[in-house]
Amino acid sequence: MAYGGGVVSAFGYHYQYLATIEYFLEYMRANLSELSGIRFFVETSSVSTSDKDKVDFSTTIADLLVEAVQVKASIDPTAKIYLPPTTTVFDDMTSEVGAVPQRFLTNRAMASTVEDECKLIEKSGEVSTYAFVPRVNATITIDKRSLNEIRDSILGMIVQFRGDRHLGLGQSSARYILASMLDLVFRAGSGLEKQEISALELIAVMHVSDHELAHVGGEFDWGNAATSVPYRPSPFPREDELDYLSGLLGKCNEGRTPQLAILAGTTGMGKSVLASDFCHSSRNFYETVYWIDCANQRKIDATVTDILRDMNQTDSYASRDELYSTFNRTLSASAGPWILVFDGVDTPSTIKSLMPTTGTGVVVVTTPNSTRWTALGEVRRIGPFASEQAINCFAHYAGISAGDAKGIRHTIADIVEKLGRMPMAVAMAGLYFRNSGDSFESLASDYFKSLAALEDEISAPPELDRTIAASVALAIRKLNADLGIVSPRWSRPARHFMNMASFMNHADIPLNMLVPTAMRELVQLDLAKVPEPAIADSEIVNGIVTALRTQTLVERNVVSGERTARNWIVDTVTVPRVVNDIVRLRYLRDAPPWAIVGIGCELMFDLYGWAAYARTRGDKLPMEIACQHGESVIANLAGQVADWSDVPEDARVFYLLARAMLRSEISARFARKDSFDFSTDQLDASLDELEELRTIDLPLSSAMSMGPL
């Protein structure tokens, strides 16, 4: 194919400047200790034939010239270089720079006459370097790569340099940086700027912040979260464990086999916090993170469906098998590297179909059960803090400065040792001491007396450590107004809030719904007045949240968005799962049946109204959250009221009606082909409950309202 002069010239300059940048970066990488003294010179030349192009670029270290390079590229790489012109290239460079090392870089093949004068000294892939024997310190580099391959090589080095500074490794960012480098070299070569470019200048271009690049590209292209990743910053990260996980992230780039990390340990040891720390601290090493809360199968399915929708896949699947296989296939094919977290998995069978067997990424599993996972890979036991970590964690939550902690270090060490150095127990104990006004020594004595008494009376399930359970119970007890720690105005609502929240999903608990409910003195509901979303009074919300945060590890999640009834999910809290479980178990043990029914009626009726409101307006995410909480409430209340004799008949009827209505709303949410069986199961259960109402001798008009309880 014949090319015009303009095309040939454009190709030549493009090749020359890409080759220049690649050479610069390779030289810098090979001479890291000399970076501050390295200078590159891009030689200016005229397009007129009278001004001979002798040297394209050269390199100096500490002002000493170390090599000069001439680039001769052809748009037709089958064209060959011949001996007389080759000799002339070196003669011209010698006349320009003297007897310093010289390199002739080209994409052309060598004619036999040139080959006869050359000796191969280095070969790497498609790039071969020869000593040109007729000249001292003269080399010829034959590069058979295409322009795109050279570009990819440069992008790889840019990514490597950015990784060394813990910056984003995105390809889009690297391309923006390459464009800046090309502009820098072009301006130097065209005489628009100084000819000299220092290595430090190039490093500065490569180390542009992620935020600046995001403004150029319109978005971040690296370290993005495809799902909500809990932000649970540990005041003292477990560096050994984080190094282990980071090492897996490095290994995943060596091939296409995902690395697997199984973090196992009893509840309250900080497995989820560790996984969250890893995702946030390693943001510059992965492209995307996918966090799947494995609290129940429905939540897993919903999260996977949302991920696939964001990957431009359909959101409708004939079966769970099809959903999981699509996820597996799509993730395996993505460029990566990615992190996939399965948080809180009990058994491998729950997620086995979701675990990719190929792809560039790391799979992190957190589980309370270590014995069932050994067949899949190495199980990493996450145990108590080291002594120093536990002491520092306690001091952090207790609000004790480093200077003050030195004077009572032995006392703190004794406290954390008695707590078994368990992260959750240490943090809860720190909050206890932070919000008490007595002397430290007397508090320590009182704390362990209270803890011992609670451990004796607590009936914790096997998966919950008794010390952690007692620590949580003691924290909730301190919400009582008579202890003088929490304002009497917020004491009862805060305790009621925690009791109600314990029946819901532990994450994304909507403050706008639960705070007004927690403020009710009496439970009095009316089916004719279906609740609708509303924005709660900010003073009340802040009062209750502040009270809770003095004693518990509740985290407030405020996201951007307009605060309206249709967007009530912008303000939520997350309660650690273990705290939720312990509060619920204690409430179910201590509360009379009528109180349990009252909480159930309030939660199910409110969630029904809010879910219906969201569905009729097409607000998918609010509806999803309301239905997820609805599923949790129904599941956590199932079978908890064995004796209805102390429950008013109208409350029992209202309870059944509210549950049937909530089930029907959940059924409507899942009325799709991929969830059709679940949808019909919910509808059947709703109809069964309505049928049960026929056995109760109570006029329907009386059942339309309930209360007061």
pLDDT for 624-681, tens place per residue? 888 889 989 998 998 888 777 888 888 888 888 888 888 888 887 766 545 666 667 7
Write down the domain spans for the chain.
5-205, 224-381, 398-478, 482-706
| Interval 260-279 mean pLDDT | 84
Tokens (6 digits) for 154: 């440069």
| Interval 394-402 mean pLDDT | 80
pLDDT the model gives residue 159:
80
Side chain identity at residue 135, one-letter code: R
- Tokens 């007129």 belong to 48
Given a cut of 50, whether residue 51 has pLDDT beyond it is: no
Tokens (6 digits) for 508: 């994304």
pLDDT the model gives residue 217:
46
pLDDT grade, residue 410 (50/70/90)? Answer: confident
Given a cut of 70, whether residue 219 has pLDDT beyond it is: no
Please tell me the number of Cα atoms within 13 Å of 291 on its side-chain side.
Answer: 18
Q: Do the Cβ atoms of 58 and 93 come closer than 8 Å?
A: no
The edge-to-edge listing of strands for the beta sheet with 138-143 is 118-124, 127-132, 138-143, 102-106, 64-72, 57-61, 38-42, 196-198
pLDDT the model gives residue 62:
83
Q: Do the Cβ atoms of 71 and 106 come closer than 8 Å?
A: yes
| CA torsion through residues 537, 539, 540, 545, sign | positive
Tokens (6 digits) for 562: 């307009």
pLDDT grade, residue 503 (50/70/90)? Answer: very high
As a CATH number, domain 5-205 is: 3.40.1350
Q: CA of 26: how far to CAs of 35, 158, 198, 441, in Å?
A: 12, 10, 14, 62
Question: Mean of the per-residue pLDDT values for the chain?
Answer: 77
Whole-model pTM: value is 0.59
Q: What SS3 state is found at 68?
A: strand
Q: CA of 664: how far to CAs of 630, 653, 671, 683, in Å?
A: 11, 17, 10, 6
pLDDT the model gives residue 128:
92
pLDDT the model gives residue 459:
52
pLDDT grade, residue 603 (50/70/90)? Answer: very high
pLDDT for 426-481, tens place per residue? 887 777 777 665 556 666 666 666 666 555 555 555 555 566 677 777 777 766 65
pLDDT for 230-253, tens place per residue? 666 666 777 788 888 878 876 766
Q: Do the Cβ atoms of 479 and 493 come closer than 8 Å?
A: no
Please tell me the number of Cα atoms within 13 Å of 9 on its side-chain side.
Answer: 6
- Rounded to the nearest 10 degrees, the angle between the axes of helix 239-251 and helix 271-281 is 60
pLDDT grade, residue 45 (50/70/90)? Answer: very low
pLDDT for 93-143, tens place per residue? 877 777 788 889 988 888 898 888 899 999 998 999 999 888 888 899 898
pLDDT for 293-337, tens place per residue? 887 787 788 788 878 877 766 666 777 888 888 888 888 877 668
CATH number for domain 224-381, candidates 3.40.50.300, 3.30.2310.20, 1.10.3720.10, 2.170.120.12: 3.40.50.300
> How would DSSP label each residue in 451-493?
HHHHHHH----TTS-HHHHHHHHHHHHTT-GGGTSS-HHHHHH
Backbone dihedral region of 315: left (phi > 0), alpha (psi from -120 to 50 degrees) or beta?
alpha
Side chain identity at residue 76, one-letter code: D
